[in-house]
Amino acid sequence: MTFQNELINWYLINKRDLPWRHTKDSYTIWLSEIILQQTRVEQGLPYFNTFLENFPSVSDFASATEAQVLNLWQGLGYYSRGRNMHATAQLVVNNYNGTFPTLHDDLIKLKGIGEYTAAAISSFSSGEARAVVDGNVFRVLARYFGINTAINTPEGKKQFFKLANELLFREDSALYNQAIMEFGAIQCKPKSPKCSICPLNIDCFAYRNNVVNQLPVKLAKAEKKNRYFNYFILTEGDKILVRERKKRDIWQHLYDFPCIETEMLLDGNDLDFVESVKNIFGNNAEITFVSYKKHLLTHQIINVQFFSLKNYIFNSSKHEELNWVSLNTLDELPKPNVIRNFIEENF
């Protein structure tokens, strides 16, 4: 039996029953694909259901506010993806009459849709002959064919894309693509793949040569950058001072607190630090350390310190990005996880 037939047979018996596998609607598939880029299936499923309940069609999605979208997105990280989805929904309504595209060449022009997602949506919704290449596919191909080119290099990507497209079962690209991805997700897993009961083990290079754990090859990533955010908690009655993050940076358009970013982790008594706090909040401002959290992002480590502030003077006309909001309103605003957790623990 061929590689393709083995995979499809295995899939028909072992596949998980997932809601987005029962539809050819490109909008619904797009929702699932973008959410699953962020998280594993079990964690992504409730997000998928919530998005579909709130926005049953692309027009519903487009007419939501960005804050509503980011609120539903909370907890998934990479907030730019939530914003890109909103922009894409609006573009589809304006330029495609509200009909979500199904062809690769239209999809690839949309914000937040790269090569993998365009191939997946076009193949699953219209049967277009495009091979999807995600982490699962890289792993299955690297192991089965014994390819040791690093998968996160341009050369590796080119080689794997070429092979994936040569192997594509063109009569039913959706079925084949689903099969190889699912096979990578639950059979040829990153750790402890089920090689002894694998239908491909007779011809699998990695299994036969005892190099399963060495494939696929990935080059080590550059070290993550450390950043140091010092947040100040100012309250007045049931109001709290918040900042909308308007700059082009992580967490753009989410809400946090007044912040001073420093080059290193500073003690609340550090003279330069105290001086910069007094420049903003007046000479009598008293700083009290509350807590420290380390927050890991894909490319950055955010070291977060929270300080409460008393006896401050705050001149709102000098700080347009800062606003007083009630704690109830703060609940509704989209926030990074580290801020959401702090509020839950302290208010």
Residues recognised as catalytic: 33
Instruction: Tell me: does residue 4 bind ligand SF4 (CB under 6 A).
Output: no
Structure tokens, 15: 């596949």
Structure tokens, 44: 């992504």
Q: How far is CA 339 from the centre of its chain?
A: 18
Minimum CB separation from ligand SF4 for residue 166, in Å? 18
160 in Cβ contact with 133 (< 8 Å): yes
Residue 205 exposed, middle or buried by CB count within 10 Å (0-12, 13-18, 19+): middle
Minimum CB separation from ligand SF4 for residue 6, in Å? 9
| Structure-token match 């800062």, residue found | 322
| Structure-token match 């999809």, residue found | 107
Question: Which residue, among 95, 124, 123, has the nearest Cα to 110 in the 3D structure?
Answer: 95
For the stretch 15-43, what's the b/e string if a residue is b when 16 or more beta carbons lie within 10 angstroms of its beta carbon? eeeeebeeeebbbbbbbbbbbbbbeeeee
Structure tokens, 24: 């050819």
Nearer to ligand SF4, 90 or 148 (CB): 148
Binding track, positions 142-181, relative to ligand SF4; x by CB under 6 A: -xx-------------------------------------
One-letter amino acid at 84 equals: N
Minimum CB separation from ligand SF4 for residue 209, in Å? 10
Instruction: Tell me: does residue 195 bind ligand SF4 (CB under 6 A).
Output: yes
Nearer to ligand SF4, 193 or 258 (CB): 193
Query: Contacting ligand SF4 (CB under 6 A), which of 4, 187, 230, 305?
Result: 187
Nearer to ligand SF4, 3 or 324 (CB): 3
Total of chain residues touching ligand SF4, rule CB under 6 A:
14
For the stretch 157-180, what's the b/e string if a residue is b when 16 or more beta carbons lie within 10 angstroms of its beta carbon? bebbbebbeebbbeebbbbbbbbb
Structure tokens, 29: 């598939």
Nearer to ligand SF4, 161 or 205 (CB): 205
Piece of 35-43, 118-126, 203-211, 302-310 that binds ligand SF4 (CB under 6 A) = 203-211
- Going 39 to 223 to 303 to 279, the CA torsion angle's sign is negative
Minimum CB separation from ligand SF4 for residue 155, in Å? 23
Residue 260 exposed, middle or buried by CB count within 10 Å (0-12, 13-18, 19+): middle
Virtual torsion, Cα 162, 167, 170, 175, nearest 10 deg = -110
Nearer to ligand SF4, 193 or 334 (CB): 193
Minimum CB separation from ligand SF4 for residue 194, in Å? 6
Binding to ligand SF4 (CB under 6 A) within 126-145 occurs at 143-144
Nearer to ligand SF4, 214 or 341 (CB): 214
286: Cα within 13 Å, side-chain hemisphere: 3
Minimum CB separation from ligand SF4 for residue 157, in Å? 21
Piece of 41-49, 56-64, 187-195, 298-306 that binds ligand SF4 (CB under 6 A) = 187-195
Nearer to ligand SF4, 214 or 315 (CB): 214
Piece of 78-86, 202-210, 290-298, 325-333 that binds ligand SF4 (CB under 6 A) = 202-210
Minimum CB separation from ligand SF4 for residue 164, in Å? 15
Instruction: Tell me: does residue 206 bind ligand SF4 (CB under 6 A).
Output: yes
Q: Which residues bind ligand SF4 (CB under 6 A)?
A: 143-144, 187-188, 193-195, 198, 200-201, 204, 206-207, 212
